[in-house]
Amino acid sequence: MTKIIRHIILFTLLLLTSCDKTVLEYPENGGYDPTLVHTNLTFTVDPAIEPYTSTKVDPNTEEHDVRWIIELFRNEIEGEPIERRILTCDPATDLNHTISASFTLHAAQYHVVAWADYVNDGSTDDKYYQIDDLSSIRILEDEDYLGDEEHKDTYIVNEELDLGGYRDSWNETVEGTLTLERPMAKIEFITTDIEKMLNQLKTKRSKSGGAVSENLLADNPDLSSIQVTVSYAGFLPSGFNAYTNKPNDARTGVSFDCSMTPLSDKEARLGSDYIFVNGSESAVTVNLSIRDDKGNVLNEVSGINVPIVRGKLTTIRDEFLTKSYTPGIGIDTDFEGEINIVIPD
């Protein structure tokens, strides 16, 4: 059974106060201000909240860094942040990505907004998302759109930081941990009819001599040569505002191409994607076009209504290579567990 990831915000501020009661005088002539609070924040992603084993092993892990964009606002989120940091770290092998940042702040109220995504190793430049600031996070333009890519995964946190209790304290240090959650859902299409398709192709060739790739007629066909086009019918959320924790734009005509990935003798993954979710759950409509390495159409499926839930994986499993399909699937809105859908006949 496919394991699903559900990231729940864990935000624990451990306020460590000093027992040293030494009396200090305020600085003169712009000297050191002992009333400033030294704030050490650790930002972390914890996939152990809901374990997930990917069906796709990405060989390019070492080609990526985790990029962290951290913004601090005094009081409410408005205007320019008082602090903005862009940091990177190597991806953790267990996916528990963690980074720390230190700030020197006045004893006041703050908002901390942080975003984490993947970029090229050694770079902080945009890769999967275009980011002007954390209110304007956008997927790539249509011609550059990337799907079926494990490193499209993202995480955010938007939390208050209350240092007001330190107004009468000097030389304080505060330690805090903020855990980021996914603002996206993941969808995945699994086909269960590889053997059936190969047998049908051999029958088709013997009876009618129809156009069939020689590769798929071989004893050990290269199934990764099968090409899949995933296209979204209607609007796809294309922008996200981390300040409001909501999508803020949508686009039509989005699609991507990928190769089928065999999982067993009977099953293969046709494609997957990460999608911003408006609220806790929503839906997208997907069309699939499946072709062999010569461009011959193996099957086309349209109008698949895919429910998506923030922080969860929706797996749609069916005989996509061979079956004629009547669109329209749904999900119980009270569903609390794993979303693993088999399309009914």
| 330 lies in some domain | yes
Residue 99 CA to chain centroid, in angstroms? 18
| 200 lies in some domain | yes
Instruction: Summarize the confidence of residues 217-233 as an average pLDDT.
Output: 93
Given 182, 198, 215, the domain boundary residue is: 182
| 307 lies in some domain | yes
Same domain, 88 and 161: yes
Residue 1's pLDDT is 37
Same domain, 169 and 70: yes
Same domain, 191 and 172: no
Lowest mean pLDDT among 10-14, 28-32, 105-109, 217-221: 10-14
Residue 32's pLDDT is 55
Residue 279's pLDDT is 83
| Length reported for the chain | 345
Same domain, 196 and 178: no
Dihedral sign, Cα of residue 99, residue 103, residue 109, residue 115: negative
Same domain, 147 and 192: no
Same domain, 256 and 300: yes
| 164 lies in some domain | yes
Domain that holds residue 144: 11-182
- Sheet of 313-318: strand order equals 261-262, 268-276, 184-191, 313-318, 339-342
Higher pLDDT, residue 324 or 25: 324
Same domain, 140 and 225: no
This prediction's pTM? 0.80
| 5 lies in some domain | no
CATH (domain of 117):
2.60.40
Question: Is pLDDT of 13 > 50?
Answer: no
Q: How many domains does the chain have?
A: 2
In 163-296, DSSP assigns E strands to 173-179, 184-191, 227-233, 236-241, 246-251, 255-259, 261-262, 268-276, 281-291
Lowest mean pLDDT among 30-39, 259-268, 298-307, 312-321: 30-39
Instruction: Summarize the confidence of residues 158-181 as an average pLDDT.
Output: 93
Given 182, 211, 245, the domain boundary residue is: 182
Contact 230, 258 (CB under 8 A): yes
Contact 165, 154 (CB under 8 A): no
Residue 73's pLDDT is 97
d(C-alpha 164, C-alpha 136), whole Å: 30
